[in-house]
């Protein structure tokens, strides 16, 4: 089979790139995907009652990047959703990220914003340049809030002690002294009104793009003759693990249907401490879906399953760099979270793809 461009993996990275190549270069693009659906981890589908279910966990699109937002907006309208998260600690729900109400409810105080700033100033561990997750959080809020709200969640999520993890992991989580209870404060935020799958399907609806599903590239390596190769699958797998496996964190989901209109007060509740799962997502909130029943998913991180999160430890990045050297020699371009071994959010991935020099 001869094509101008081969893209391995039909997730948001591969599909964004496919669309650009087709439109801007007018070249043929073949997307090959091992799963039976497009969309990668953004894939969503409708359940019996029409609730849009995010099969691989909650995906909330947000960005400050106008170019990224405008690019995707060609293919979808947005449901204007503001993400709110609660965290369940000691039998109570608290706003997450930590804000004025979290502090007052947890400490049973009536602090003003100025009081909270003063309180954290007295409890914070004095570190000027935090070097890991533990230091980032304790240097802002002190040990008590760190232990209750971050320590166990992070350990469970990443399978690594937070003192070993780099600061970027929690960079997206602010600490607030006001009552803002939004999870993200980006300029643009929303959920594709017909779902991510439909948005991505609209992107690949182009005469120059074809897609093969249920197609494991590694079983057909020699059958495709492509001028350019892009890969959003794990880079270590592409090179047959010749330097060893890159560690990834995996997540699995236990879906439950409940005969109640609402199961929990917001779309996502975090469970940092007692439970094996990190969070419970109730999907109907994402598009304000009205139905008698509801669907939730409990999220369990583990070391086994399909790779989901790259684990950005120094030694892992070093190993990734070794693979990346091979990539440079062979003129294969790696893209997306798994191809570049980066803890990217959706907008960062789309940004890379819209800015990539073709």
Question: CB under 8 Å to 4, separation ≥6 — which residues?
Answer: 21, 25, 27, 28, 29, 226, 227, 228
Which member of 46, 172, 179, 187 binds ligand UDP (CB under 6 A)?
172
CB of 299 to ligand UDP, least distance (A): 8
Beta bridge partners of 229: 6, 332
Tokens of residue 33, six digits: 């995907």
Residue 149 or 238 having the CB closest to ligand UDP: 149
Question: CB under 8 Å to 204, separation ≥6 — which residues?
Answer: 10, 15, 18, 19, 31, 38, 211
Q: Does 338 bind ligand UDP (CB under 6 A)?
A: no
Alpha carbons 259 and 287: distance in angstroms, whole number: 19
Q: Does 12 bind ligand UDP (CB under 6 A)?
A: no
Q: Does 149 bind ligand UDP (CB under 6 A)?
A: yes
Which member of 16, 28, 63, 87 binds ligand UDP (CB under 6 A)?
87
Beta bridge partners of 209: 29
Q: Does 157 bind ligand UDP (CB under 6 A)?
A: yes
CB of 154 to ligand UDP, least distance (A): 4
Contact stretch for ligand UDP (CB under 6 A) within 22-30, 108-116, 151-159, 346-354: 151-159
Residue 56 or 149 having the CB closest to ligand UDP: 149
Q: Does 272 bind ligand UDP (CB under 6 A)?
A: yes
Residue 150 or 217 having the CB closest to ligand UDP: 150
Q: Where are the alpha helices (DSSP H) in the chain?
A: 12-25, 66-73, 100-107, 113-123, 133-141, 143-145, 152-158, 168-171, 196-204, 235-238, 314-330, 336-339, 346-355
Tokens of residue 182, six digits: 């939004």
Alpha carbons 295 and 45: distance in angstroms, whole number: 12
Contact stretch for ligand UDP (CB under 6 A) within 116-124, 169-177, 216-224, 238-246: 169-177
Query: DSSP 3-state assignment of 229?
Result: strand
CB of 96 to ligand UDP, least distance (A): 5
Q: Does 267 bind ligand UDP (CB under 6 A)?
A: no
Alpha carbons 345 and 122: distance in angstroms, whole number: 34
Residue 20 or 54 having the CB closest to ligand UDP: 54
Residue 31 or 133 having the CB closest to ligand UDP: 133
CB of 134 to ligand UDP, least distance (A): 10
Task: Check residue 306 and report its DSSP letter.
Answer: S
Residue 229 or 352 having the CB closest to ligand UDP: 352
Q: Does 263 bind ligand UDP (CB under 6 A)?
A: no
On the 0-12 / 13-18 / 19+ scale of CB atoms within 10 A, 19 is buried
CB of 46 to ligand UDP, least distance (A): 23
CB of 71 to ligand UDP, least distance (A): 22
Angstrom CA distances, 201 to 83, 191, 192, 215, stand at 25, 15, 12, 18
Q: Does 297 bind ligand UDP (CB under 6 A)?
A: no
Question: CB under 8 Å to 74, separation ≥6 — which residues?
Answer: none
Q: Would you tell me which residues interact with ligand UDP (CB under 6 A)?
A: 87, 96, 149-150, 153-154, 157, 169-170, 172-173, 270, 272
């Amino acid at each position: 089979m001869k094509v101008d461009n081969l893209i391995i993996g039909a997730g948001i990275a591969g599909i964004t790139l496919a669309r650009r190549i087709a439109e801007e270069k007018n070249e043929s693009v073949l997307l090959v995907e091992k799963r039976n659906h497009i969309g990668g981890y953004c894939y969503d589908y409708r359940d019996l009652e029409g609730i849009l279910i995010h099969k691989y966990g909650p995906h909330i699109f947000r960005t400050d990047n106008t170019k990224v937002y405008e690019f995707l907006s060609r293919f979808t309208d947005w449901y204007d959703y503001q993400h709110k998260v609660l965290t369940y600690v000691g039998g109570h729900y608290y706003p997450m990220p930590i804000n004025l109400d979290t502090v007052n409810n947890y400490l049973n105080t009536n602090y003003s914003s100025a009081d909270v700033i003063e309180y954290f100033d007295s409890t914070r561990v004095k570190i000027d340049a935090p070097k890991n997750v533990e230091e980032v959080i304790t240097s802002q809020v002190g040990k008590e809030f760190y232990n209750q709200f971050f320590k166990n969640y992070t350990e469970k999520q990443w399978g690594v002690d937070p003192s070993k993890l780099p600061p970027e992991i929690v960079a997206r989580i602010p600490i607030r002294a006001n009552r803002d209870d939004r999870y993200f404060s980006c300029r643009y935020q929303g959920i594709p009104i017909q779902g991510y799958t439909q948005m991505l399907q609209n992107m690949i609806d182009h005469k120059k793009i074809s897609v093969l599903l249920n197609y494991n590239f590694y079983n057909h390596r020699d059958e495709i003759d492509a001028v350019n190769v892009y890969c959003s699958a794990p880079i270590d797998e592409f090179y047959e693990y010749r330097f060893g496996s890159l560690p990834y964190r995996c997540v699995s989901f236990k879906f439950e249907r409940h005969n109640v209109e609402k199961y929990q007060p917001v779309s996502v509740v975090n469970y940092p401490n007692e439970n094996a799962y990190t969070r419970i997502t109730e999907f109907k909130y994402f598009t304000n879906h009205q139905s008698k029943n509801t669907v939730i998913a409990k999220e369990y991180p583990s070391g086994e399953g399909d790779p989901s999160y790259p684990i950005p430890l120094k030694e892992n990045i070093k190993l990734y760099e070794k693979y990346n050297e091979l990539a440079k020699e062979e003129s294969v371009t790696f893209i997306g979270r798994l191809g570049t071994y980066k803890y990217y959010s959706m907008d960062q991935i789309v940004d890379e793809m819209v800015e990539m020099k073709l």
